[in-house]
Amino acid sequence: MTTEQLAKDLLAIIDSEMYVNDFGGLQAGRDATTDIHAAIGKLEEALAQPAPERDWLPEHKCGLHLSHNEHRDVYETVEEFYEEDWFISPEEWNKAIEEDSVWVLHWYPITPVGFNRIAASTLEAIKAKLKGRTHEA
């Protein structure tokens, strides 16, 4: 269930169960209050989950930086600007040179002292390399 659906369900419960009390204020019945609390709990759980579009990113307690084609900012070639061992494979290094396209993901998993860096010719290649990882030390 999506967070949008949970929010709609919550609003539906509120709309269907609200009434004007003796003092002119809006009030929910006992059943609605229980339903609202249950719906809010589900919504909070859903919001605590990583968004699917970011679930491939490695865990990091400090910074995470994604860059694309930084070599072009200083008029250098792929070979001049990047280290071959940053790339996820020799094939990606060669493809990056051929296509003049480099994505770099740089992150600090635990402290600002140690970092990881990987590069590839496409963002999809980096995602595929990281997909499924839950912890990176």
Question: Cα–Cα distance between 108 and 3 in angstroms, integer?
Answer: 30
Domain co-membership, 72 together with 110: yes
Mean pLDDT of 72-100: 97
Domain co-membership, 45 together with 69: no
Question: Cα–Cα distance between 92 and 14 in angstroms, integer?
Answer: 53
Asked whether residue 137 is domain-assigned, the answer is: no
Domain co-membership, 121 together with 81: yes
Asked whether residue 23 is domain-assigned, the answer is: yes
Domain range for 43: 3-49
pLDDT digits (tens, 9 = 90+) for 11-45: 676 666 666 666 766 666 656 556 666 767 776 77
Please, are residues 102 and 121 in contact by the beta-carbon 8 Å criterion? yes
- Overall pTM > 0.85: no
Q: How much is the pLDDT for 66?
A: 92
According to DSSP H, which parts of the chain are helical?
A: 3-17, 30-48, 78-81, 90-99, 123-130
Asked whether residue 57 is domain-assigned, the answer is: no
Q: How many CB atoms lie within 10 A of CB 86?
A: 17
Mean pLDDT of 41-61: 70
Domain co-membership, 119 together with 76: yes
Asked whether residue 9 is domain-assigned, the answer is: yes
Domain co-membership, 44 together with 71: no
Q: How much is the pLDDT for 112?
A: 77
Number of domains in the chain: 2
What φ, ψ does residue 101 adopt, rounded to 5°? Answer: -140, 125
Domain co-membership, 78 together with 28: no
Domain co-membership, 91 together with 114: yes
Helices and strands of the chain, counted as H and E runs: 5, 5
